[in-house]
Amino acid sequence: MTETTAITEELLRVEGVTKRYGANTVLDDVSFTIGRNEVVGLLGDNGAGKSTLVKIMSGVVPMTQGAYFWEGTRYDGIDRQKTEELGVETIFQDSALVPQMSITRNIFMGREITNPLGLMKMREMDRITTEILDTVVTIEGIKSAKQLVGSLSGGQAQAVAIARAVHFKRSLLILDEPTSALAVRATEALLAYLRQLKGEGVSSVLVTHNLHHAYEVCDRHIVMNHGRKILDVRREETSVEELTAAVVEGAVGVERFRAGTF
Ligand SMILES: Nc1ncnc2c1ncn2[C@@H]1O[C@H](COP(=O)(O)OP(=O)(O)OP(=O)(O)O)[C@@H](O)[C@H]1O
């Protein structure tokens, strides 16, 4: 069973995406659209194919078959450079940070603010970093923007990766399990920020195992099961219970939920 919902204005669309690793098909004919100003939850059990989809949307791994459209234009051979140009910003599960560098340097890596002589404007970058850390990712225990990333906890480091992605907010922000190591307050701040970004015209895709978080913040939910899309439904047409049934039991779970037997 596959359900789709109409989108008003299309940002990213993938069609018929299949990904094989050798004989193993990890994504099977997956199609969906991310609308402009939409927060979309990408849900599913372990191994359902969510991270692989994130990597394909970000151009990090090539699809075996399928098509990638951005604002209606088809792009073949999409790669990381192209998605960066288009305006896709991704926080991967294992976001690469440099432990020997400060939080500020990590956030601005490759996109440093410089003066006309090419020298880095450290004070300005530190100020922006402090502002992001205070407002977006309110993480306990970070003392200063100058702190080395290597001295942070896992959750604090994750927050830096998030800060980096949200500062350079562009058209589409993809977050692969961003809240897995965040404490309650930081998680709430991040979820609120995704909604704020939406108001500013930035769409996001949130991969999470926390269905309550997804339901709270997402306009639409896509549920994957064994490499297939089994549900694509607007928030107002579903419930945490139905999403749970879909994640736990797949298409059968949705049918059972709707029949009142889940
Ligand atoms: N590089 C790879 N080579 C071979 N198989 C892979 C590779 N990457 C992922 N897979 C397989 O693809 C399937 C989907 O993995 P994926 O990481 O996309 O799932 P997921 O939904 O993100 O899971 P989780 O919630 O556990 O992170 C898994 O069976 C995994 O073993």
- The percent of residues above 90 in pLDDT, for the chain, comes to 60
Q: How many helices (H) and strands (E) does the chain have?
A: 8, 10
pLDDT for res 136: 65
- How far are the Cα atoms of 31, 66, 107, 145, 159 from residue 2, in angstroms, in the given order? 10, 17, 39, 46, 35
Banded pLDDT at 1 (limits 50, 70, 90): very low
The count of other CB atoms within 10 Å of the CB of residue 98 is 12
* Structure confidence by residue, pLDDT tens digits, 171-219: 898 988 877 767 777 778 778 878 887 887 889 999 999 999 899 999 9
The CA 64 to ligand 1 mean position distance, Å, reads 15
Cα torsion 121, 124, 129, 134 to 10°: value is 170
CATH architecture classification, 1-87+172-179+202-262: 3-Layer(aba) Sandwich (3.40)
Average pLDDT in the 98-103 region?
90
pLDDT for res 82: 94
Name the residue of 24, 26, 90, 174 to mutate for ligand 1: max ligand atoms within 8 A of Cβ: 26
> For residues 262 and 254, what is the distance between their CA atoms, to the nearest angstrom?
8
Asked if 207 and 55 count as a contact pair (C-beta separation under 8 A), the reply is no
Instruction: Locate the ligand 1 atom nearest the alpha carbon of residue 224 and give its number.
Output: 21
Distance 17 CA to ligand 1 centre (A): 15
How far is 214 from 42, CA to CA, in rounded Å?
8
In eight-state DSSP terms, residue 43 is E
**Looking at the DSSP assignment, which residues form a beta bridge with residue 65?**
18
Spell out which residues line ligand 1, taking CB within 6 angstroms.
21, 24, 26, 44, 46-52
**120 C-alpha to ligand 1 centroid (Å):** 39
Strand order in the sheet with 10-21: 24-35, 10-21, 65-70, 73-75
Interval between CA 55 and ligand 1 midpoint (Å): 11
Dist. CA 27 → ligand 1 center (Å): 9
- Residue 219 CB neighbour total at 10 angstroms: 19
Domain boundaries, the chain: 1-87+172-179+202-262, 94-169
Position 3 pLDDT exceeds 70: no
Give the C-alpha separation, 168 to 146, whole Å: 19
CA 261 to ligand 1 center in whole angstroms: 31
Q: DSSP label at 114?
A: B
Q: Where are the alpha helices (DSSP H) in the chain?
A: 50-57, 80-86, 103-107, 122-135, 154-167, 184-199, 211-217, 240-258
* pLDDT confidence band for 223 (50 / 70 / 90): very high
Nearest CA to ligand 1 atom 10: 26
Tell me, what DSSP letter sits at residue 120? Answer: B
Mean pLDDT, range 16-31, rounded to an integer: 97
Is the ipTM of this structure higher than 0.95? Answer: yes
Nearest-atom index, ligand 1, CA of 44: 21
Q: 104 near 164, Cβ under 8 Å?
A: no
Atom number in ligand 1 closest to CA 49: 18
**pLDDT tens digit string along 133-151?**
777 666 666 778 898 988 8
Which amino acid is present at 21? Y
